Amino acid sequence: MDLDDISNIAIPYGPNASTCGYCSPPGQRSKIATNYHTASLEAIKLSCEVYQGMIDRGWRRSGSYCYKPDLKLSCCPQYTIRLDATEFKPSRSQRQLLNRWNRFVLFEDSYVGEGANQDTRNGSTSNSKPSKKPPKLAPFTSLTKTIHESEVNFQTSSKPRNKFEVILEPASYTPEKFALYQRYQADIHSDVKNSPNGFKRFLVNSPLQPHPIPYTSPPPDHLPLNYGSYHQLYKLNGQLIGMGVLDILPKCVSSVYFMYDKAMERFSLGKLSALREISLAQEIREAGASEMEYLYMGFYIYSCQKMRYKGDYSPSYLADPETYEWFPLASCIPILQKHRYACFSEASHSVIDKVAKNDTNGNGNDVEATGSDSSDAVDVEMEDQECEQESLDHAWDEGECEQEEDEGFLPSPSESETMPDELDDIKILARSETGNIFAMPIKETGYLRFKQVRVELGACLEGLGEQLVKEISFSL
C-alpha cells in the first residue's frame, strides 16, 4: 500500500489551552490561558467529505492545523454558524451595497483614495464637484444576477467604465497575493511582522484533497470543477484589491479568510464577499450539485459584540455543542443572553458562571443580541481569524499549550484498568520490513502502552466521534 491509497492522514494532539484575543483590547491577549481546545491535529491529507464531517462537529482549520474549541471551558465560546443559502434573501441594505459597487464599476471613474468626501455612517462618497447622474441599474431580480452585473465576463453590451474580474482558482502562492496580505495586515491591523512562509502556512497550505463535484451537466466556466481549497481573487483594472480564502465542500462553501486593499474600504468588500460566497453556493447547487446548501461563516461568538454581525445574514443556524444538531439563531439568542456556555438541545446543561479571564473591554453576556454596526464586517471577520491564528502561533511558539506531559512507556494496564474499546479500532500508520506504508488497528501494536498516545487519541476520539475517527489513519 502507498500513501496515495490512504485518504486521510493526521498527527494527533491532545487537549490544549492558549490565551484569548476575543475578550481583550485590540492587539492584546488575555493574561492567562482561557481559550481551550477539546482536541487538535495536524492534517497531512483529508478528504473533503471527512472535513465536512469535522466542521459539522465544531472543528476549524488554520492551514493544516485543525482544532475543536472546548466551549464549556473557554472564556469566549465559539459556536459553528451556517447560513442556509437556498433560503437567503438579501436585505434592503445588502441590495444597496451591491448596487453601490455595481454603479461604481460600471459608471464611475476609478477610485484613487483621495479627493472624495466620505460618509462613514453608510460608506457613500461624493466628489467635490457635481457630476452627471449615472444611468440606472437593472432592477433587482436575483442575488446571482446582481452579483455578476459588474463583472467583465458577464457584460453583453455596453463597455463598463472599470474592468472588474472575479477569479476562482486553487489556493496557491504568488508575490501579488502576499503583497496584498502584507498591506492588509499593516493598514488594518498594524501588523508588520509577516513572512511569505507564514502566509503560506496560514492561507495557502491545505490538507484537503481535490475531488470532482458531481454536476449533472457541464457547469459554467466561473464555477469550480472540484471540491477543495480555493482563492477567490477580486481584480479591478488589473489590480488585486481583495482575496477570499474558501473551502468548497460537499454541503457548503466554507469561508476561511478575506483581505482587501484599504483604498477600497468605503465599498465594504467584506460584506460584498459574503454575498458573493452565498451566491457561489447557490450557483453550484443550481448547476446540479444537489447537496450544496450552506455558507459556513466560521464561529459565532456571542460574548464578543463585534462577532455578532454574522447573524445579519439570515436564516442562520448554530450547531449545538453537545448533539451537533442545528438550531435557528433566533431561538439560541435567549439562551446565549443568560449563559456563558449555552446548550440549545438541553437548556439545563447550560452554564452561567464565567471563566476567569482578562475581560478589559466590557463585553458581557447582558448586551443586546444585535449585529455589529461596524462599517465593514470584514474587519471583524479578520479579527476572528487573527485571534485564532495568534492563539495557535503563541501557543506553539511560546509553549503555552497546556498538554498532559508524556510519561513515556508505561507497564501494561492491570485488569482493573480498562482501555476505551473505541481506541482499539483506531488506525495508525506503520511501515513493513520492505518499506511499504500501511494502516493497521492500534490494538495490534504496543502504542497503547504510552499514556500520551492514549491522551491524544482519546481527545481526537472525543472530538471526532466514533464514526469519523475511523476514517483517519494517524501517524504517531
Domain segments of the chain: what residues?
A: 92-286
Look up residue 80 and give its DSSP letter.
Answer: E
Read off the amino acid at residue 343: C
Name which of 196, 101, 94, 77 is nearest 150 in CA terms.
Answer: 101
147: phi > 0 → left, psi -120 to 50 → alpha, else beta; which? alpha
Distance CA 134, CA 206 (A): 44
Instruction: Using a cut of 0.75, tell me whether the model's pTM lies above it.
Output: yes
> Domain 92-286 belongs to what architecture?
3-Layer(aba) Sandwich (3.40)
> Residues 6 or more apart from 301 whose CB is under 8 A from it?
22, 76, 77, 78, 79, 307, 308, 384
Q: Note down pLDDT in tens along the chain; length 476 residues.
A: 567 789 999 999 989 998 888 887 766 778 888 899 999 999 999 999 999 999 999 999 999 999 999 999 999 999 999 999 999 999 999 999 999 999 999 998 655 443 333 433 334 444 545 556 667 787 888 999 999 999 999 987 678 899 999 999 999 999 999 999 999 999 988 888 899 999 999 999 999 999 999 999 999 999 999 999 999 999 999 999 999 999 999 999 999 999 999 999 999 999 999 999 999 999 999 999 999 999 999 999 998 888 888 999 999 999 999 999 999 999 999 999 999 999 999 999 999 986 644 443 334 333 333 333 333 434 434 444 554 544 444 444 433 344 433 333 333 343 333 356 778 889 999 988 888 889 999 999 989 999 999 999 999 999 999 999 999 999 99
Distance CA 209, CA 217 (A): 23
Report whether 383 contacts 185 (CB < 8 A).
no
Distance CA 374, CA 100 (A): 18
Look up residue 83 and give its DSSP letter.
Answer: E
